[in-house]
Amino acid sequence: MTLRAVVIDDEAPARAKLRRYLADDAGIAWVGEASDGPSAVALIQRERPDIVFLDISMPGMDGFGVLQALGDPLPAEIVFVTAHDDMAVKAFDVHAFDYLLKPVGPDRFARTVRRLCQRIVPCAPRLEGLLGDLPAPAHYLERLLLPTGDAAELVPLERVDRIESDRNYLDVYVAGVPRRLRGTLDAMQARLHPSVFARVNRSTIVRLGAVTEVQPWPDGEKRLVLVDGGRVTWTRRYFDADVAGKV
């Protein structure tokens, strides 16, 4: 059986190198490539590849954002490509994902492909674990890659009003409309600037600038009214007077 693979990387030389390696391997067929998050999601949704070679660092987002925005079904295998990210590499080891360190050499690539051809199994359970255990980013997120139909768009975080958790998924509200991502609230919170976003209860993060009114609520809690009309409770456990002063 020939496996189908796509390459996601913002650097054309890196894509060309992996494309050459794939051309030399009879067990895997290259079926497309993309250089940014939105086109990557569209490509994966359209081609339904068995394997995705995914660069971690791309302008405006990272490879994890692509995975969060993907719908079902997921590729069977994901191979992360990174230049230097020790924390991410540790997470890949823990959750049993293959990775390639740049510059990617032919011998390491060939070993990875042989292992993949022997092991192809659904990655959904492993991916859920990885997205719940993401390493802290070098910089806080400025945009989120959010699904829209069969594609995705990069949305500036100032357009996001709140984020609510639903088991292994997140509902990201933009102008009152939820857009669903894979992931956990704890992992998302670590990737958002704490002066801009605040955790207000066990299942909700709000953008402080989206709060239009703070109302008293029983038992010392607060009721937040958001610009999109949403209402959420700021529980005592998560109440922070310093953060409240910024609302």
User: Are 160 and 73 in a shared domain?
Assistant: no
Average pLDDT over residues 167-184: 95
Structural domain of residue 167, as residue ranges?
Answer: 151-244
Asked if the structure places residue 224 within a domain, the reply is: yes
pLDDT digits (tens, 9 = 90+) for 52-77: 999 998 877 788 999 999 988 889 89
User: Are 203 and 100 in a shared domain?
Assistant: no
How many angstroms separate the CA atoms of 103 and 55, rounded? 12
Do 94 and 112 touch, CB atoms closer than 8 A?
no
Q: Residue 120: which pLDDT band, with cuts at 50, 70 and 90?
A: low
Asked if the structure places residue 237 within a domain, the reply is: yes
Please, what is the average pLDDT of the chain? 90
* pLDDT at position 104: 93
Q: Which of 97, 131, 165 is the last residue of a domain?
A: 131
Q: What are the C-alpha distances in Å from 1 to residues 4, 48, 79, 86, 225?
A: 10, 16, 19, 34, 56
pLDDT digits (tens, 9 = 90+) for 181-226: 999 999 999 999 999 999 999 999 999 999 999 999 998 899 999 9
Judged against a pLDDT cut of 90, whether residue 171 lies above it is answered with yes
Give the full edge-to-edge strand order of the sheet including 222-226.
211-216, 222-226, 231-234
Asked if the structure places residue 146 within a domain, the reply is: no
Q: How many domains does the chain have?
A: 2
User: Are 7 and 123 in a shared domain?
Assistant: yes
* pLDDT at position 236: 92
Asked if the structure places residue 139 within a domain, the reply is: no
* pLDDT at position 241: 62
User: Are 165 and 118 in a shared domain?
Assistant: no
Gyration radius from the chain CA atoms? 20
Asked if the structure places residue 60 within a domain, the reply is: yes
